[in-house]
Amino acid sequence: MKRFLVIGTLLFFLGISYIGYILLTLPDVESLRSHNPTTTALMEQRAGESNRKVQPLRKWVAFNDVSPHIRNAVLIAEDGAFFQHSGYDLEQMKESAKRNWREKRFARGASTITQQLAKKLYLSTSRNPLRKIREFFIAQEMERHLTKQRIFEIYLNVIEWGDRVYGVQPAVETYFGKTPSDVLPEEAAILAAMIPNPRRYTPARNLKYLEKRKAEILRRLSRSKYLENDDYAAARLRPVVFRQVSPAP
C-alpha cells in the first residue's frame, strides 16, 4: 500500500510539473489578433517528411470573404457547437469515447476547431497524450485572447486541403477554379468532407467517399436550416465539376 502511495504521489507531482512547464512555454497566441501566420507546424512537418522547403502561406482570405456555404459546411462537419463552447466540447468527447471503446480503435476524434487550429499551428499530428494536453492549454489561450470569428478565419486559411494545398483560397482555386466567395453548397460540402484526412480524401483518390460524405453534410445543412429546401434540392442534383482531380503540383 505504501508503495502505491509513493508512486501515486510521484505521478501527481510529475503531472503538476508538466502542466507548469506547458504554461511557462505557451506560444504567443495574442499576436494572432493582428498578425496572420505565414507558416505552421504542420506545414513544416509535411515539408520535412518530403524533404522539401516550406512554402509560406501567401493568399489570405478575410472571414467575410469566405462563402457562408464553406463556413457552414465546415462547422457542420467539424464542430457544430463551435460558437457555443469555450474550446472543448464535453458532449462530443463523451460520444467519441463511447464509440472508440465500442469499436476497440480510434474511430472518432473530438477535437474542436480551436483544438485543431492549436495542433496545426504549433504541434504535430502525433496522438501522444502529452501532446493532447498541450493542445488543450493552447486552445484555451486562443479562446481567451481571440474572438471566435478570428479563430475560424485563421483555421480556414491554414488547414491542409491536399498535398501542399494549405488554406481556403488555394483549395478553391485548385479544385474548382473559383474564389472562396463563389463556392456552391455542394462544392463546400466536398471541401468539408476532405478535412479529416486531406491527403487521402481527395477527388483523385477517394471521389466515391467524398460524394457520399457530401450528401450527408448537405442533409445536415438542410436540417440545421443553413440551406433552404429549394437550395438543398438543387445542391443534391447538381454534379460537382472539378477543375483538377489529380494531386496539386
Q: pLDDT tens, 121-141?
A: 999 887 777 778 889 999 999
pTM of the full predicted structure?
0.86
Q: How far is CA 167 from CA 70, 151, 190, in A?
A: 12, 14, 15
Cell 470573404, located at residue: 65
Helical H segments across 25-89, by residue range: 41-49, 68-78
Whether the pLDDT of residue 249 is over 50: the answer is no
The yes-or-no verdict on residue 156 having pLDDT over 60 is yes
| Per-chain mean pLDDT for the chain | 86
pLDDT of 99 higher than 60: no
The pLDDT assigned to 66 comes to 98
In sequence order, which residues have a C-beta less than 8 Å from that of residue 97 and are 6 or more positions away?
Answer: 110
What's residue 244's pLDDT? 59
pLDDT digits (tens, 9 = 90+) for 4-62: 565 666 555 565 655 665 655 678 899 999 999 999 999 999 999 988 888 889 899 99
pLDDT at 5: 63
Mean pLDDT of 218-234: 97
The pLDDT tens digits of the residues spanning 172-199 come to: 999 999 999 999 999 999 999 999 999 9
Q: What angle do CA 181, 149, 41 make, to 5 degrees?
A: 90
- Quote the percentage of the chain above a pLDDT of 90: 65
Q: Letter for the amino acid at 158?
A: V
Question: Contact 38/56 with Cβ under 8 angstroms?
Answer: yes
